[in-house]
Chain A
Amino acid sequence: MSALTADGPLPGFADPVDDAQRIFRKVLDALAHPGRIVAIDAPADLPPGPLGRAALGTALALLDFETPLWLDEAASAARAHLRFHCNCPKAETPGGASFAFLGDPAVLPTLDSFALGTDAYPDRSTTLVIEVRALADDGDLTLSGPGIEDRTRLGIEGLPAGFWAKRAALAPLFPCGIDLILTCGDRLAALPRTTRVEE
């Protein structure tokens, strides 16, 4: 089944200006308050594949011809839809990606195969959007760092074993690092590279 139906591609945002702004503010809110779960209410139509509304909304809001996009095999079903709406170029490797959307975290590439930025330009790093099985505002993870008053908790299901240890291994490379957006259907949480995660 293709996103390009017989009648044409599925629509993107019903209101491109307002929807993009509203979703961006949610993502900004989530990134500025790591561990906070926000609800994403657009787009109405979703292409095939595992990526939910929160992931799709983030993509439509932020991607364009300047952001090479890497998709894992599971998420590739959305490629045509995103190419049509965002005109984003395809990243040939994870390291060349401005954004990477992952529909099957079980087969996550190693984190350092993505762009981590450089000491002079740490902003030139890949933003990972990972569709997970469950996202809860309580759980095994204790978060601290910028954006969090003291500590907060988060529950995530679906990430491979050892994921947090591998993420923590990147911490000494700061300011280089990976910024994460975790999505589950309509819900989204974000963990910038500055957030400390304890299991």
Chain B
Amino acid sequence: MTEPLAGYNFAYLDEQTKRMIRRALLKAVAIPGYQVPFGSREMPLPYGWGTGGIQVTASIIGRPDVLKVIDQGADDTTNAISIRRFFARTAGVATTERTRDATIVQTRHRIPETPLAAGQIIVYQVPIPEPLRWLEPRETETRVMHALSEYGGMYVNFYEDIAIHGRIATTYDYPVLVNDRYMMRPSPIPKFDNPKMDMNPALQLFGAGREKRIYAVPPYTKVKSLDFEDHPFTVESWNEACAICDAGDSFLDEVITDDQGTRMFVCSDTEYCRDRVAAKAAE
């Protein structure tokens, strides 16, 4: 464990900022899916690069915690490394690439394939928290729509997709209804990951730094992806399995391997892939 950076408070944020964010988190957990406004601070990483997730993690993390950070499902993408280093420098906490060993998982755009357990906390980095934003740019309007549960416009939007394309054309950041009340954006995870959110035993926290909103899904909470009876929600599928570990049940990245356009598909979740390879080798 590295020693935290001298001259800065534990996990960088001052105590008053942490208290403000902690209070917001408690309200978020009490009102699942509702976006709580909070006084987001400028962080040493740019807005848009995970400052919301970082502020949430910085407010909850303690010395005994073990932190995993992933981006696009991988631990070693550049921004995941950058964020993990930030916490190693400012909090001195232990970090890991193993989901099972983590007490806090901070993520951008994926939920780990390894199921989360009760007691774990997953922190999502959110660019645009407002599910109705593409229908209505004004915050003054969307806040009223949430207050009145006025979500018809989103269903109309999806129905138009079906009329034009024959299917719902949203594939990531797919809106959900939480606890049968608030419409929520899960962050740009592929719709493949949406089912993992429903009745998950872990606590799910969402931070949008630039837009200054925090929201939460408590453990064991109903999360339902929007759909129609005659056009039920479906997830992505591939004709191939992972070229490395042969998984047929994980989200696959497409990799172009030569200038003829040859492509192969590999697990986006690098830990999951590695574990499967190791398990096979052990057989």
Chain A contacts to B: CB under 8 angstroms: 16-18, 20-22, 24-25, 27-28, 31-33, 61-64, 66-67, 98, 118-123, 125, 127, 146-149, 174-175, 177, 179, 192-194
Contact = CB atoms under 8 A, between A and B. Distances in A.
B147 A120 contact: yes
Point out which of A63, A125, A146, A148 has the most chain B C-beta atoms below 10 A from its C-beta: A146
Contacts of B133: none
**6 nearest CB pairs, A to B:** A119-B147, A192-B30, A123-B27, A146-B221, A147-B218, A146-B218
A62 B23 contact: yes
A179 B30 CA distance: 7
A118 B29 CA distance: 17
What is the interface of chain A mostly: helix, strand, loop, or mixed?
Answer: loop
A25 B11 CA distance: 15
Interface string B54-83: 000001111100000000000000000000
Interface stretch (B12-20, B123-131, B151-159, B183-191): B12-20
B20 A66 contact: yes
B85 interface: no
B135 interface: no
Contact of A119 (B10, B15, B148, B179): B148
A66 B18 CA distance: 13
Given A62-B22, A120-B143, A123-B24, A33 B219 contact: yes
Contact of B31 (A24, A67, A118, A194): A194
Nearest to A99: B23
Contact of A32 (B9, B59, B182, B218): B218
B217 to A, nearest CB: 8
B32 A146 contact: yes
A17 B60 contact: no
Contacts of A192: 29-31, 218
Contacts of A16: 15
A147 B22 contact: no
B203 interface: yes
Given A146-B218, A146-B220, A122 B31 contact: yes
Nearest to B9: A17
B212 interface: no
Contacts of A18: 10, 62-63
Contacts of B60: 21, 24-25, 28
Given A119-B148, A123-B34, A194-B32, A28 B220 contact: no
Contacts of B144: 120
A194 B182 CA distance: 13
Interface in B145-180: 146-148, 179
B226 to A, nearest CB: 19
B13 to A, nearest CB: 11
A192 B32 CA distance: 10
B18 A20 contact: yes
Contacts of B20: 64, 66
B36 interface: yes
A10 B2 CA distance: 35
Contact of B220 (A20, A64, A149): A149
Contact of B10 (A17, A27, A149, A194): A17
A175 B31 CA distance: 7
Contacts of B147: 118-120
Given A21-B62, A66-B20, A32 B31 contact: no
A24 B22 contact: yes
Contacts of A123: 24, 27-28, 31, 34, 36-37
A31 B148 contact: no
Given A33-B219, A122-B34, A179 B26 contact: yes
A139 B263 CA distance: 61
A12 to B, nearest CB: 12
Contacts of A179: 26-27, 30
Given A148-B220, A175-B181, A175-B182, 14 more contacts: A16-B15, A17-B10, A21-B62, A25-B60, A28-B22, A32-B218, A64-B19, A123-B37, A146-B221, A147-B220, A149-B219, A149-B220, A193-B31, A194-B30
B26 A27 contact: yes
A152 B28 CA distance: 22
B73 to A, nearest CB: 25
